[in-house]
Amino acid sequence: MGSLILTEQKEWGALVTLNRPKALNALNTDVLRELDDVLTQLNAQKETQVVILTGSGEKAFAAGADIAAMREMTPGEARQFSAYGQAVMTRIAGMRAMVIAAVNGYALGGGCELAMACDIRIASTRAKFGIPEVTLGVIPGFGGTQRLSRLIGVGRALEMMATGGQINAEEALRMGLVNHVTEPEELLEVCEAMARKIAANSAGAIALGKQSIYAGSEMDLNRGLAHEAGLFALTFAHPDQREGMDAFLEKRKAVFK
């Protein structure tokens, strides 16, 4: 495993750290490739129930796609870079594990897009969010024009896109861009407490619940409900269903496989 991404195994899964602090964890192709590899490996490990993704250093989760690397790109190269970044970020929604973004500082451009691609976002009071691409003469290319409007609504996404301005963690919380805000020194602790809570539940059921929510958010209600019923039925083919229900009825803690 390369040094641009650090991975630490935990009892609930893995802590994954973007590790390019001198460039504020800017995302170039090497970082994306390593992140892609790490996510692929973690998805193959059944014991990884939660991934916490954060940035190294005090200042940034990730300050965006790498501007120096993008400067000389042709339109064709930019399209490839965008498609690859989007594919890596979209991989997160398809993972069995729940992925929590621990946003420890700047989450700008591609960094904001990466945080938005995670399942849950927890921000430190130091976090700053924005999609400042228009200040560079470009638009977001890692899903920012799509995921931001889905998370906070079209009107607010348009304002953030067109002004290129930053919002702080409290504003992000009010808009629904993040789930919780913590003091910087408590960020990982809060994320890990959530990770432990998630890991105590049925991993198989969570994976199906995640799939149902993501797929359903792209469907009309009736198709979404039919999709949910199919996945609900599938949980009854897994031993976790019997164990979870037996444990409730026997007034004991469930032990899931």
Least distance in Å: CB of 185 to ligand CAA? Answer: 20
Q: In what order do the strands lie in the sheet with 5-10?
A: 5-10, 13-18, 50-55, 98-103, 120-124, 180-182
Return the ∠ at Cα 246 (arms to 240 and 252), rounded to 5°: 105
**Positions in 51-70 near ligand CAA (CB under 6 A):** 63-68
> Between 65 and 177, whose beta carbon lies closer to ligand CAA?
65
Least distance in Å: CB of 22 to ligand CAA? Answer: 6
Please state, in angstroms and rounded to a whole number, the distance separating the CA atoms of residues 150 and 246.
Answer: 39
Burial of 63 per CB tally in 10 Å (0-12, 13-18, 19+): buried
Active site residue 243: no
Kindly tell me which residue out of 13, 55, 140, 244 binds ligand CAA, with binding defined by CB under 6 A. 140
Please state, in angstroms and rounded to a whole number, the distance separating the CA atoms of residues 191 and 128.
Answer: 18
Q: What is the largest CA-CA distance in the chain?
A: 65
Question: For residue 53, what is the enclosing H or E element?
Answer: strand 50-55
CB-CB contact of 134 with 144 (8 Å): no
Site string for ligand CAA, 191-230 (x = CB under 6 A): ----------------------------------------
How remote is the C-alpha of 144 from its chain's centroid? 13
> Between 33 and 196, whose beta carbon lies closer to ligand CAA?
33
* 142 binding ligand CAA? (CB under 6 A): yes
Q: Of 93-101, 109-117, 217-225, 243-251, which segment contacts ligand CAA by CB under 6 A?
A: 109-117
Q: Of 22-30, 87-95, 115-123, 188-196, which segment contacts ligand CAA by CB under 6 A?
A: 22-30
How many Cα atoms occupy the beta-carbon half-sphere of 150 within 13 Å? 11
* 109 binding ligand CAA? (CB under 6 A): yes
Least distance in Å: CB of 176 to ligand CAA? Answer: 21
Could you tell me how many residues of this chain bind ligand CAA (CB under 6 A)? Answer: 22
Please state, in angstroms and rounded to a whole number, the distance separating the CA atoms of residues 109 and 192.
Answer: 26
Least distance in Å: CB of 149 to ligand CAA? Answer: 15
The catalytic site residues sit at 113, 133
Provide the binding-site residues for ligand CAA, judged by CB under 6 A: 23-24, 26, 63-68, 85, 106, 108-110, 113, 132-133, 136, 140-142, 144
